[in-house]
Structure 1
Amino acid sequence: MSINEEFVEKAQEFYDYPLTLLNLIKWGVDTFPEQEVIYAPPDAPKLRLTFAQVWDRVRRLASALEQLGVKPGDPKRLGTRVGVLEWNSHRYLELYYAVPGLGATLHTVNIRYSPEDLVYTINHAGDEILFIKDEFMPLLQAILPKLKTIRKVVVMSDKPEPPQVKLPGIEVYEYEDLIKRSNPYEFGDVDERTVATLFYTSGTTGLPKGVFFTHRQLVLHAMGISISTAAPPYELTIKDVVMPLVPMYHVHAWGGPHAMFLTGQRYIYTGRMDWGYILKTISEEKVTYVFGVPVILYLLLTHPDSSKYDLKGLKYGNGGSAIPEGLYKLARSRGIIVINGYGLSETAPVIAQALFKTQSLNWPEDKKENFLMKGLRQIPLVFLRVVDDQGRDVPRDGKTIGELVVRAPWLTPAYYKDPGKTKDLWRGGWLHTGDVAVWDSDGYIWIMDRLKDVIKSGGEWIVSTRLEDIISTHPAVGEVAVIGVPHPQWGERPVAVVVPRPGKKITEDDIKNYLMKFVEKGEIPKWWVPDKVIISERELPKTSTAKADKKALRELYKNVLSS
């Protein structure tokens, strides 16, 4: 009898343990039952729940979902799609587990989308039930006639007496009422290859694209980041207090709601982002680790109340886009330890972080800081390559630019209902990130730019992020984006859009003269200096994930060099 035949014969005699999200939360509750989840919105009292209480609410919510008609899927088909429009909250955390726990699919709807993109993604996903924060009801009422599949709506509110809502042709329920009148659900196992989550990319190029992930993928992702954030320079332990400032609709809030039950840290969800209130909460709750995109760090550091708070020792996990050098230095001046991370919607998201090797611990401080700001190593179970347009590895010389490609056990297998774009994403059997990078002789990865943001000038590449780094170090610069603009002779030329810091004044010549200092030092070639610097008194336009919207900037300034 072969080993495989024996395995099949005895399959009914042992428990084939599935890697499911339910087993994450159940293990966390068994191990850290008294650890806290805190919901601290700016306009309502704080709510403190233990892990055990969260689990009880998850089970009651699952009973309610079953009564609402939620059906399980399997590895070959999606279960009922349940959409959510909500800020970061304990309710969102409960939905993260109750919906997939039933074998259904959680659609984390991007609340920053335009109404048109909201309609498109909800219809494309085929959501049947929508959980929605009460403040978004006017938006829902406006788009409801265009929603083809929504049959039931559950309203969530922080108010003691939630508003009474009526929607034509729609059954409407209230979240806390469902929790109170439901008994704890007795979960069974679901197949670990069942799709647990579905969401859509930020839609900066064309229509948003759907990505989806199975239970198995998300458990392995949670394990990978739990291991990596326990290592230097993160060194997070059960003693840490974590505040995610990345939205829970965005790429699983970078895995925090899953990893938290493995690491046992206290988590604080802040509802709508109010930066002064968040600074106050960081101080009151003794938060030690915050993670989000660069603009969030900028808003915390430049808020009028920021100087009132001692932020020394706070760790900030940066992702979404590279952190400008000027912002990094501003954070370090306040004693904040910024650590670079990297991922995509397509990668669940985390695949690399600024993790130290043994020899890295002995580096001089300036080299450590450069690595923390820009460097990357793959986290456990991830393999990265930097390749040319033929799929061949470029030299590990720290200079030759190629595209970063990846393999890991938690990458989206396809774009939802889009085989054409899927084929391009996975060409050659590696997921193509669309980011250009170099790698050095030690295997460290340095992201240079997005392929679509690299400026092609006279047959050569100009790395927009390098120019942004330098400009951001000018003491009067608050925000900066460098874009490629059509040029009749060179194809494209760089244009910088600069927003001054509050209370500061700056001119185009100030920026160009500042860049010339770096030209004289040999850090950039003279032809990289932007043809034009636009000083804007308005903040840069942002994508739905709070990145500078370079697509919008390119459209706005497409004729600036030809006029």
Structure 2
Amino acid sequence: MSIEEFVERASEFYDYPLTLTNLIKWGVDTFPEQEIVYAPPDAPKLRLTFTQVWDRVRRLATALEQLGVKPGDPKRLGTRVGALEWNSHRYLELYYAVPGLGAVLHTVNVRYSPEDIAYTINHAGDEILFVKDEFLPLLQAIIPKLKTVKKVVLMTDKPEPPQVKLPGVEVYNYEDLIRSSSPYDFKDFDERTVATLFYTSGTTGPPKGVFFTHRQLVLHAMAIAISTSAPPYELSVRDVVMPLVPMYHVHAWGGPHAMFLAGQKYVFTGRMDWGYILKTISEEKVTYVYGVPVILYLLLTHPDSPKYDLRGLKYGNGGSAMPEGLYKLARSRGIIVINGYGLSETAPVIAQALFKASTLNWPEDKKENYLMKGLRQIPLTFIRVVDEYGKDVPKDGKTIGEIVVRSPWLTPAYFKDPEKTRELWRGGWLHTGDVAVWDSDGHIWIMDRLKDVIKSGGEWIVSTKLEDIISTHPAVGEVAVIGVPHPKWGERPVAVVVPKPGQRVTEDDIKNYLMKFVEKGEIPKWWVPDKVIISEKELPKTSTAKADKKILRELYKNVLSA
């Protein structure tokens, strides 16, 4: 057979599909006895092997098919199945069973308002909802607004499931479905079939849907498995991983997909209880934890935290910049913090603080600067920093531009929103809305969100730089710097500071502290905030636990004109 004939007839032989079930199949074949622990704070721990989870995934798939779940293909979506749940083995099973049928898993953000939750379920067109019993009051409140939901499957950690009736909806129990179903025999299908859908909040308008295919998520998982095995992560089958980013948020950063390639033990903790999580980290000998900065802050400032030896624990940071003060607090406890970067639109990981071979010989203080802030693109990802005309800014470590990216796993569009899709993908590159500089070695240093940069008198003030400095004040627990309207300068910076528990700090303390950095030439004097607000309440958070600057800007919009 000639090469021309082979290419023409290739699909007659075997066109291997990059589907998610092939990830878990390989993991089960290679690491069958590796452990998955479900350790909720209010129920006994459950220990399952990869083999046992795979059996449950297959049984769940049979149950889903019997509930009427239909596959999709590259041109149409399969049945949308929503999930309202904390991090658990059940969520992991849904990650594979639903897409394994060619259907679409909608990971519902339970931190949204009830109105936004109802909106996203309706917008997605979910027909079946898997709901943890503690979310039943929420579901009962919004069920009259849900237009497409026909069936609900209840999940519980209690010995006996609650007996619930919902108007016009069939109700099932998760474990009953698992027990009564035989293992499903997964079939191959087109890897371009959509596997997941979830929603991301912007500064204006309702949440926007992003979606990803099997091929995209498999490639994303492979890239993460490669990058986290490299320095400084150096994760292997010997590591014990605890994801502290919710599984409803951007595939829990790809961990539940990459885990079967890396063969790592995973510990899922249900609802986040920080004292219990510290105890579980110790009991399960967790070596790697990942989440947003505020989670690290809550672990380090919890009253029980001093009881535990955290030396050697690695913390994968993402979601927002790591404040320098928090980084130093973590290092004082022996924790190794490693920065990462991504968006909901990018599945999410596209860059990490990866070391080049030459970096390994650097002095520790220089390494730490790169661990905290420096980024390199992960495999198969290409990142540029561009000006407003789409041209690369100089790699001088000074000139600010927007990060744009190309990668095999970027969302192709916003779901049902062609206008915002065109804006996202203008010029053929995905526009992140983040501003950065890059240096001659190709390291990327994120400066701020484009929407959070403060435009004062025609110049930019980088809010994250001010937050970094203020966070190093010994009395500061949390800080956010926002731009507030000013009649002369357009905008001026205002800092909102939350003291550490038991500490006291004043506006003058913060301004005087900043002046030390002005005197050292680290920031110009005109960057010093016009006002520092000391708050006894924690900063408002987004649904992903980042400081919600949109709320802060609205709350303090008149503070400089009062």
Q: Name the TM-score, length of structure 2 as normaliser.
A: 0.99
Pairing of 1:353-502 with structure 2 (within 5 A): 353-502=352-501
Distance 1:92 1:4 in 2: 46
1:404 is paired with a residue of what secondary structure?
Answer: strand
Please say if 1:59 is aligned against 2:84. no
Tell me if structure 2 keeps the 8 A contact 1:101–1:190.
Answer: no
1:322 aligned partner: 321
- Are the counterparts in 2 of residues 403 and 435 from structure 1 also a CA contact under 8 Å? yes
Equivalents in 2 of 1:151, 1:203: separation in Å? Answer: 29
Shift of 1:8: 2.4
Q: Which residue of 2 aligns with 1:23?
A: 22
- SS of residue in 1 equivalent to 2:220: helix
TM-score normalized with structure 1 length: 0.99
**Does the alignment pair 1:299 with 2:289?**
no
- Counterparts of 1:225 and 1:182, CA distance in 2: 34
CA distance in 2 between partners of 1:165 and 1:175 (Å) = 13
CA distance in 1, matches of 2:75, 2:226: 31
Tell me which residue corresponds to 2:139. 140
Amino acid at match of 1:310: D
Would the aligned equivalents of 1:202 and 1:545 in 2 still touch at CA under 8 Å? no
Q: What does 1:159-178 correspond to in 2, within 5 Å?
A: 159-178=158-177
Shift of 1:215: 0.2
CA distance in 2, matches of 1:89, 1:8: 45
Does the 8 A contact of 1:293 with 1:546 survive in 2?
A: yes
The one-letter code matched in structure 2 to 1:192 is E
1:544 partnered with 2:524: no
> Per the alignment, do residues 117 and 203 of structure 1 end up closer, same or farther by CA in structure 2, a change over 3 Å counting?
farther
Deviation, 1:2, is: 7.4
Amino acid at match of 1:287: V
Give the distance between the partners of 1:557 and 1:509, measured in 2 at CA: 19
Alignment partners' CA distance in 2, 1:462 and 1:471: 15
Matched residue type, 1:8: E
Q: Secondary structure at the match of 1:213?
A: strand
Supply the distance in 1 between the matched residues of 2:132 and 2:350 (Cα, whole angstroms). Answer: 32
- Are the aligned partners of 1:204 and 1:543 in contact in 2 as well (CA < 8 Å)? no
Output the CA distance in 2 between the equivalents of 1:187 and 1:521: 63
Aligned AA (1:243)? M
Q: Which amino acid letter does the alignment assign opposite residue 315 of structure 1?
A: K
| Kept after mapping to 2: 8 A contact 1:484/1:492 | yes
Shift of 1:5: 4.2
Tell me the amino acid that sits aligned with residue 348 of structure 1: A
Q: CA deviation at 1:207?
A: 1.1
Residue in structure 2 matched with residue 237 of structure 1 by the alignment = 236
CA–CA distance in structure 1, aligned partners of residues 294 and 230 of structure 2: 26
Q: Which amino acid aligns with 1:9?
A: R
Amino acid at match of 2:189: V
Superposed counterparts of 1:120-199, under 5 Å: 120-199=119-198
Deviations 1:440-469 (A, max 9, x none): 010100000000000000000000000000
Given that residues 387 and 405 in structure 1 are in contact (C-alpha distance below 8 angstroms), is that contact kept between their aligned partners in structure 2?
yes
What is aligned with 1:344? 343
Q: Counterpart of 2:7?
A: 7
What is the one-letter code of the residue matched to 2:98?
V
Q: Taking every aligned residue pair, what percent have the same amino acid on both sides?
A: 87
1:303 & 1:10 partners in 2: Cα distance? Answer: 59
Letter in 2 for 1:340: N
Query: Secondary structure, in 3 states, of the residue corresponding to 2:121?
Result: helix
Residues 10 and 528 of structure 1, relative CA distance in 2, 3 Å threshold: closer
d(CA) in 2 for partners of 1:167 and 1:20? 35
Query: In structure 2, how many angstroms separate the alpha carbons of the residues matched to 1:185 and 1:222?
Result: 24
Q: Classify the secondary structure of the residue corresponding to 1:11.
A: helix
Q: Deviation of residue 287 (structure 1)?
A: 0.2
AA of the residue aligned to 2:223: G
**C-alpha deviations, 1:143-194, integer Å up to 9, x for none?**
1100100000000000000110100110000000000000001111121000
CA distance in 1, matches of 2:95, 2:40: 19
Runs (5+) with no aligned partner, structure 1: none
CA distance in 2, matches of 1:32, 1:466: 44
Cα distance between partner residues in 2 of 1:401 and 1:542: 27
SS of equivalent residue, structure 1 residue 216 = helix
For 2:113, the equivalent position in structure 1 comes to 114
Distance in 1 (CA, whole Å) between partners of 2:460 and 2:2 is: 57
Residue 48 (structure 1) aligns with: 47
Q: Is the 8 A contact 1:86 1:133 kept in 2?
A: yes
CA–CA separation in structure 2 for the residues paired with 1:551 and 1:19: 39
Query: What number of residue pairs does the alignment pair up?
Result: 562
> Structure 1 CA distance, aligned partners of 2:68 and 2:497?
52
Task: Say whether the 8 Å CA contact 1:209–1:416 is kept in structure 2.
Answer: yes
The superposition leaves residues 372-415 of structure 1 with CA deviations (integer Å, 9 ceiling, x where unpaired) of 00000000000000000000000000000000000000000000
Q: Kindly provide the CA deviation profile for residues 192-222 of structure 1, in whole angstroms up to 9, marking residues without a partner as x.
A: 0000000000344321110000000000000
CA distance in 2, matches of 1:189, 1:514: 62
